[in-house]
Amino acid sequence: MCYIDNIPIVLLDLTYINIFFMAFYHIITDLFTGTKRPSAETPILQAEEVEQTILAVNRKMAPFQVRKTTSDEPGDLVAEWKIVDAKWYEIFAKAGLKSTFRIYMHFDDVNKEVHAMDREFNVAWKAGVPTLSMRATAFQGQKQSVEFSTAYAFQEEGGMGEVYKYRFSTGEIKKLLHKAVTESGWTYRGVIKL
């Protein structure tokens, strides 16, 4: 503390203020973009190993899949609901799914980050078969949605009973992707454009 004309003046070290605001900025930015960082002691894997770790989240009975992108899609990998899979589209139709999304991922090997961009699609059901079209609305950041449905009907044993109950949450896919990426020592970063 110093004094000017016997008035105490507190001098603040601007370095500490700058560090505080930079940390606050990163926390807020990470929150809005859905960025997840690995812990400092996590070993950093090579891009090919990260890709294999992400692809390993696939489960035969899960309603989603992670696959390599086609030549007309952006990024390296895409995670999506199995809405066009014959085994699943009847379930999605019964659940009344009106929109679906895909997470396109690109590997930034220099910064050890997986950039993830969400795209939302409208779903139209014709004779029980889905068709996808791009949604006209846009959004920034990461998309979070939950679709669910329950139906009751008469059962073979007689009486009313629950026929099906479904819940499709984008968080279900994203949690697995976050874990696969951060446990590989990379950062999962939500972006608007790949």
Give the model confidence (pLDDT) of 30-71 as tens digits.
777 789 999 999 999 999 999 999 999 999 888 899 999 999
- 76: Cα separation from own chain's centroid: 15
Q: Which residues, in sequence order, are CB contacts of 86 under 8 Å at separation 6+?
A: none
Give the model confidence (pLDDT) of 70-79 as tens digits.
999 999 999 9
Mean pLDDT for all residues in the chain: 78
Q: For residue 160, how many other CB atoms are within 10 A of its CB?
A: 9
* Residue 172 parent element (H or E): helix 170-182
Structure tokens at 15: 């370095």
Note down the domain range covering 81.
Answer: 2-190
Is pLDDT above 60 for 167? Answer: no
Predicted TM-score (pTM) of the model is 0.72
Describe the chain by its helix, strand, coil percentages, rounded to 5.
25, 35, 40
pLDDT value for 23: 72
pLDDT value for 29: 77
Is pLDDT above 70 for 84? Answer: yes
Going by pLDDT thresholds of 50, 70 and 90, the confidence category of residue 116 is very high
Query: Average pLDDT, stretch 154-160?
Result: 57
Q: Cα(144)–Cα(129) distance, rounded to whole angstroms?
A: 25
pLDDT value for 172: 83
Q: How many domains does the chain have?
A: 1
